[in-house]
Homo-oligomer: A and B are copies of this chain.
């Protein structure tokens, strides 16, 4: 209503880069101390209605935006309301879904998320962790690329909690949220076996990634459970991309003794395998069950049976742990497992050819 202050900052041309208003400007315009402005901004109860209104009005008139960085610099808890999410590649479906789950949870807490792609490169991991610490993020959510995470100990000790998703930490005690890789793989292979297959191949992703090993273990467990022998030519692990997977499948099919069913233990491997089957017109004859769902899996013909990971669930749980740590939870690190689920669509139910 009553404004008693004149334009305090002289002539301001429309084009000249306007300086952002600070708390001091607001205080001056409202005729209160800067501290009172701070109280209003932070919703402190102990401000009279009259002053609060004056301050609110000044804030609106000046279009004042509190500087979060300055605030956290001085604030006791030092929180910056930013977290880092470091993962494989923001462009791949798994990471993208994880990212979205994390973003949603962070938004509820007024926190912004830095996303960074590691491309399975340990060096990128340490670089991005460093960048995150320079920005003083409140916490780090990591799908690790590197083989050892001891270097994170000092970050954790100096107050930046780290939570692992999808893959466990090594050389560091930290929270981890993982999928039930072994059980999921076992379920898929049992499913193939129960549809009559005895010649089931394993095609897996990079060996150094922990999930690969767990899924291979699940494959072996299922074979054992059904009394099937594991044959050397039936296992191709350490496939880095779809192309190598396609070639590995081709080689198996060309052998004198081709498998009648494929368990593909990773996204890209599944895709590579399907491509080879399509090329040979075998996509309706060789059964396929894949680990991890992928876009369009239910539009391919036959539709692709997969063990789906609850990616959003993993993300949500991991970010929840992270915020608990940020809030001060000092309980021992824990590992949580999020269950997978078999999605039956057709490709996994193709029977073996009559002998």
A positions within 8 Å CB-CB of B: 17-20, 63, 65-70, 72-73, 80-82, 84, 89-93, 96-97, 99-100, 103, 107, 110, 112-117, 130-136, 154, 157-159, 271, 274-275, 278, 294-297, 299-301
Contact = CB atoms under 8 A, between A and B. Distances in A.
A74 to B, nearest CB: 10
Contacts of A100: 89-91, 117
A103 B85 CA distance: 13
A157 B17 contact: yes
B96 A90 contact: yes
Contacts of A294: 295-296
A271 B159 CA distance: 46
A112 B135 contact: yes
Chain A interface main SS type: mixed
The 10 tightest CB contacts between A and B, nearest first, are A296-B296, A91-B100, A69-B69, A96-B96, A295-B295, A91-B96, A68-B134, A112-B114, A90-B99, A20-B158
B113 A115 contact: yes
Given A20-B158, A96-B96, A99-B115, 15 more contacts: A19-B158, A67-B73, A67-B136, A68-B135, A90-B99, A91-B93, A91-B99, A91-B100, A92-B96, A112-B131, A113-B114, A271-B296, A278-B299, A296-B299, A296-B300
A275 B301 CA distance: 11
Contact of A114 (B69, B73, B114): B114
A116 B114 CA distance: 9
Contact of A112 (B97, B110, B116): B116
Contacts of A72: 69
Contacts of A130: 65
Nearest to A81: B135
| Residue from the set A70, A107, A115, A275 with the largest chain B CB neighbour count within 10 Å | A115
A68 B91 CA distance: 28
Contacts of A154: 18, 63
A130 B68 CA distance: 12
B91 A18 contact: no
A161 to B, nearest CB: 11
A99 B96 CA distance: 10
A334 to B, nearest CB: 18
Nearest to A84: B112
Contact of A133 (B65, B73, B80, B91): B65
